[in-house]
Structure 1
Amino acid sequence: MDRANDTQWLPALGLAFLTYNSAAAVYRSIDEPWAVAFVVVAYVDLLLLFWCLRKFERCFEAGSAADRPRLKAAVWCLATLLTLMFSYKVAVIMPLPVAVMVWSMAATVCLGGFWALFLCEEPSSRSDTK
């Protein structure tokens, strides 16, 4: 039996889980517009990030380099937005020294992602070993 076919339902299950939890969070926070906006923006951001990552993977599979720079930029922007949104939510409830540490880690992750996506050289040939 092919293992790849056995796990094709996992992304759909993950998306269903994300959708259910987002809907439940919106329902619980319906009287708080900022909380609803946060959940909706985070949900849409994640959907767009997954979509862009899949397109980016297909660029590598097809050997197409035309869309890679735009997709890299989109992936970095979406991931950075998500990182900053959640860092803000955490930092607000923490004492100042911990909040500084949270923002420092968020900045490190965002800058590290920028470095990895834009400043590192891409390998000339991709070797997939399974």
Structure 2
Amino acid sequence: MAIAQSSPKEEQHQQCHGGRGGWVFQAIAMLVATAVTTQAAYRARREPWDLAFVLFSYADLGLLFLCLSVYERLPPPPLEEVQEGDSGDDGAAVRWRLKMVVWALSTALSVAFAWRVAAVMPAPAMKAALWGMTSTVAVAGFYLLFVYRPVTISSSEMDTCKHKQSSPKLDQMV
């Protein structure tokens, strides 16, 4: 009988990123979303646009959860900054595509909710403010996911999850 053993690097990754229990939260969240969607779809069954909105929101949220769960299971990217095309790492291409899909799904969900809320807004200025905020969120999300490059952190700074460096004063308070 073979026993699967994980490497120390995988164990550290699981400790720092929540281990294997994340599926429970995702399952509960999807069950709640399914129950709420079923109730909303039943109430909207005679209004085609309302029903389409409910079903689109549910499908978009489900796909968003799925993509985020796949993204979280990918191995972490290397610490060194590598020029595009030089790494030969298929994981980088998959991470980039998943980030693009996550951005598109979250933007579509934001736009759908803004569209529904704008339909009931009384003043044109309020509608403009709503669409301005939605556009700002979409553009800022794109910038943070694809344009912004944070400063590279050294491997000694990355070990803070493993060594739990905190101040003695904070330990006394806790």
Q: How does 1:43-58 map to 2 (within 5 A)?
A: 43-58=58-73
Choose the corresponding residue for 2:142, options 84, 90, 114. 114
- Counterpart amino acid of residue 132 in structure 2: S
Q: What is residue 30 of structure 1 aligned with on the other side?
A: 45
For residues 67 and 59 of structure 2, the distance between their equivalents in structure 1, rounded to whole angstroms, comes to: 12
Larger RCO, structures 1/2 (Cα 8 Å, 6+ apart): 2
State the identity %: 35
CA-CA distance at 1:122 after TM superposition: 5.6
Q: Which runs of 4+ in 1 moved over 6 A?
A: none
Choose the corresponding residue for 2:105, options 72, 78, 102. 78
For residues 90 and 112 of structure 1, the distance between their equivalents in structure 2, rounded to whole angstroms, comes to: 21
Q: What is residue 116 of structure 2 aligned with on the other side?
A: 89
- Counterpart amino acid of residue 128 in structure 2: V
For residues 8 and 33 of structure 1, the distance between their equivalents in structure 2, rounded to whole angstroms, comes to: 33
Q: What is residue 32 of structure 2 aligned with on the other side?
A: 17
Contact 2:99 2:145 in 1 (8 A): yes
**What is the number of residues matched between the two proteins?**
129
SS in 1 for 2:46: coil
Change (3 A) 1:66 1:83: same
Q: Structure 1: where are the runs of 5+ without partners?
A: none
CA-CA distance at 1:4 after TM superposition: 5.8
CA-CA distance at 1:124 after TM superposition: 4.8
SS in 2 for 1:31: coil
- Counterpart amino acid of residue 54 in structure 2: V
TM-score (norm 2): 0.65
Q: What is residue 67 of structure 1 aligned with on the other side?
A: 94
- Counterpart amino acid of residue 149 in structure 2: E
Contact 1:59 1:65 in 2 (8 A): no
In our comparison, the structure showing a higher alpha carbon Rg is 2
CA deviation digits over 1:40-90, x for unaligned, max 9?
A: 111000011111111112224476323011111101100000000000111
CA-CA distance at 1:96 after TM superposition: 1.1
CA RMSD of aligned residues (A): 2.6
CA deviation digits over 1:6-53, x for unaligned, max 9?
A: 775332211111000001100011001111111111100001111111
Change (3 A) 1:8 1:73: closer
Q: What is residue 105 of structure 1 aligned with on the other side?
A: 133
Q: What is residue 8 of structure 2 aligned with on the other side?
A: none
